[in-house]
Amino acid sequence: MNRNNMDALSVCGTFSRDARAWGFPKGTSALYGKGAFVWLNDNKPYLDWVCGLGSNILGYSNNAFDHYVMMNMRRGSGFSIGASLEIETAEKLVNVLGRRVNGWSPNSLMVRWGLSGTDATSMAIRLARAVTGKKHIYIIDGGYHGWADWSVSYTYPALGVIPEESGYIHSLPKDKDIRSYNVRDAAAIIVEQSVTDPNPAFYTNLRSLCDQNGVMLIMDEVVTGFRYAAGGACEKYGIQPDLCCYGKALGNGIPVSALVGHKDYMEWFRKTDPVFCSSTGWGNQVSMAAANAVLDTIDDKFIRRIESVGEQFIKGLGRAGLNVIGHPQRSLILFDSDIKKAFFINEMRNKGILVNRPNFINGAHTMEHVERTVEAAEHTMNLWLDMSDEERLRETDGKIPFTLFKNR
Ligand code: PMP
């Protein structure tokens, strides 16, 4: 197979993984990964700080994880009746979240498994509309919640989505006093804890706004879950959600997602006339094994470890002259121009390092990896400073990353 010609055969499954989103040559693809490294189709290893868009929390091809997933895969997958492992894994999940999320307890919760973050957020939206009997959904600061019609309808031009959908989705700015919003017609407000810390009163005010207006509060923890803390952003900020959506890190790169909420709501999925959400791959043995293995590994000690590596990552890149914001486990490099971004990402790649605007830490990253990255970043920034504007333009010609997620 000519791997350089794969663009002709397959549209990359994820926009952010597309070589164009990196500004890399057409046909750039990944062959395999081990620990903190991924081998691209030039057969060279790259130190990877993007961690499969935040999904790879343990490191690639982690021995204990792989062993557990493969052991379960060998027992067959996709049975004709729900897998026992669905129940076992749900029990583990509610035990973690029930103890760590404000207002939740293990006995009050139920889980609905999915494969993608979009599965979880879309189930949450459908459930909220069914429970409240209302149609409108509020998102915060135009946040991204997946590729479903309801979610992308407000993005221009939302090709292929019925325009009327956008009449039901509204974006609220986070910086205003949230208590002043009129959300009486809303079924739900869905929020992702963004890269930077919230105003201290934000979540308390949001909770009262929801309570006063009969609105469900959905936390989108697809990125933050099992990363900001074992109990996600809800644990870190003491948030009291009605429903929570998890994905990404929950499967360490294997597709699995979950919607978790109080039994009173979740029971709507199995009424005689249920809220209809169902899919052949949901709850399959491999995904369940992956979630199970991740849940066995993520604890406070694990989070502290990735946090301390991430702190050094942010500090070091700052010393190299980059503007880095966010959390140790999930940070964002702010570039003042697309040209600088293109130069930095491509030059770091030349040095065997994959960094992008959003970066993440996984359990395989070490302080040595940080040191190597900071040295490379310092060298890259010095090169940049020594170049004229014409040289910068020439150097980045055809390498400007194609950006879809402008606010991420
Ligand atoms: N919510 C958030 C906050 C996300 O960042 C994403 C994807 N990056 C999703 C939902 C959708 O997840 P998926 O791509 O797995 O469908």
| pTM given for the model | 0.96
Q: How far is the CA of 247 from the centre of ligand 1 (A)?
A: 8
> Do the Cβ atoms of 261 and 109 come closer than 8 Å?
yes
Query: Which pLDDT belongs to residue 9?
Result: 85
Q: Give, for ligand 1, the residue of 53, 137, 141, 248 to mutate: max count of ligand atoms closer than 8 Å to Cβ.
A: 248
Per-residue pLDDT of the chain (408 residues; tens, 9 = 90+): 565 566 678 899 999 999 999 999 999 999 999 999 999 999 999 999 999 999 999 999 999 999 999 999 999 999 999 999 999 999 999 999 999 999 999 999 999 999 999 999 999 999 999 999 999 999 999 999 999 999 999 888 899 999 999 999 999 998 778 888 999 999 999 999 999 998 889 999 999 999 999 999 999 999 999 999 999 999 999 999 999 999 999 999 999 999 999 999 999 999 999 999 999 999 999 999 999 999 999 999 999 999 999 999 999 999 999 999 999 999 999 999 999 999 999 999 999 999 999 999 999 999 999 999 999 999 999 999 999 999 999 999 999 998 876 544
**From ligand 1's centre to the CA of 381, what distance in Å?**
32
Residue 406: its pLDDT value, please? 55
Task: Write down the pLDDT at residue 175.
Answer: 73
Q: For ligand 1, say whether the CB of 146 is within 6 Å of any of its atoms.
A: yes
Does 118 sit in the ligand 1 pocket, CB within 6 Å?
A: yes
Q: Is 33 exposed, middle or buried (0-12, 13-18, 19+ CB in 10 A)?
A: buried
DSSP assignment string, 333-371: EEPSSHHHHHHHHHHHHHTTEE--SEEE--TT--HHHHH
Task: Please give the distance, rounded to the nearest whole angstrom, from the Cα atom of residue 179 to the centre of ligand 1.
Answer: 27
Ligand 1 atom index nearest CA of 118: 16
Amino acid at 148: A
Per the omega criterion (within 30 degrees of 0), is the bond before 198 cis? no
- Burial status of residue 5 (CB atoms within 10 A of its CB: 0-12, 13-18, 19 or more): exposed
How far is ligand 1, taken at its centre, from the CA of residue 54, in Å? Answer: 10
Ligand 1 closest atom vs CA 248 = 15
330 lines ligand 1 (CB under 6 A): no
CA atoms within 13 A of residue 42's CA, in its CB half-sphere = 11
Question: How far away, in angstroms, is 119 Cα from ligand 1 center?
Answer: 9
- The pLDDT of residue 408 is 46
Does ligand 1 come within 6 angstroms of the Cβ of 222?
yes
Report the C-alpha gap between 194 and 147 in whole angstroms: 18
Q: Given the structure tokens 């130190």, which residue do they identify? A: 47
Q: How far is the CA of 144 from the centre of ligand 1 (A)?
A: 7
CA distance 98 to 120: 18
Residue with CA nearest ligand 1 atom 12: 117
- What separation in Å is there between the alpha carbon of 249 and the centre of ligand 1? 11
Residue whose CA is at the smallest distance from ligand 1 atom 2 = 145
Q: Which atom of ligand 1 is nearest to the CA of 224?
A: 3
User: Helix, strand, coil % (nearest 5) of the chain?
Assistant: 45, 15, 40
Is the minimum distance from the CB of 117 to ligand 1 under 6 angstroms?
A: yes
Token couple for 178: 């949230």
Provide the β-strand partners of residue 114.
257
Helices (H), 116-198: 117-132, 149-152
For residue 252, what are the contacts with CB-CB under 8 A and spacing of at least 6? Answer: 55, 56, 57, 58, 62, 65, 290, 293, 294
- Answer yes or no: is the C-beta of 221 below 6 A from any ligand 1 atom: no
Helix (H) or strand (E) holding 330: strand 330-334
Q: Looking at the CA of residue 247, tell me the nearest atom of ligand 1.
A: 15
